Amino acid sequence: MLELFVRGLLFGLAIAAPVGPIGLLCIRRTITDGRLTGFISGLGAATADALYGSIAALGLQAMSLILLGLSSLLQLAGGIALIWIGLTIMLARPDPVIAQPTITRRGLLGAYLSTFFLTLTNPATILIFTVIFAGLGLGTAGNWLNGMTLVAGVAFGSALWWTLLSSGVALVRGRVTVPVLRVINLVSGLVIIGFGVAALLSRGL
């Protein structure tokens, strides 16, 4: 069981580590709103990955097929959302970074839900977990406990990555000036828009 958990942890780190739109959102939110907001943003993505992993681990083929059948619609929603978020970031007026930003429950909930739903717009993640579980002989009714152990490791590994990323960025956020933040907004906004356009193009729009 411990070996499966450690494997899941490594898988979680590998899935979360590549820099994508969620990573950029986490970095920017950490700079503008503080480490906790950045971490909560990453935690939303980790939760979505764990949800899709659980579906694969429990062998819920019917649900997997439904989600994969909706992949085109989900990609459309995700692409539009990314473009809107990117434009919002680009047009945002940067304010000086303050040491103790105001944090509200509503703001944290919004940060969490935004990355959770963005990650859900990529149901192909289920296929990744299905392949991983099949390679380990998991994802069947008799191995659901082992599968869920692996999923727990994935969730922990993903959360660990977002903790490290938000904590690392928080160490240098006090040195970020308004001109630098303006550049960050421009670059991150453009890149996120690019991810959104790529999502739309991948479905033939």
Mean pLDDT, rounded, of the chain? 79
Say what the pLDDT of residue 39 is.
92
> Which residue is listed with tokens 């453009």?
190
Q: How confident is the model at residue 18 (pLDDT cuts 50, 70, 90)?
A: confident
Per-residue pLDDT, averaged over 185-194, amounts to 88
Q: 124, 78 in Cβ contact below 8 A?
A: no
**Half-sphere exposure (CA, 13 Å, Cβ side) for 80?**
6
Q: How confident is the model at residue 112 (pLDDT cuts 50, 70, 90)?
A: very high
Per-residue pLDDT, averaged over 122-137, amounts to 65
Does residue 37 have a pLDDT over 70?
yes
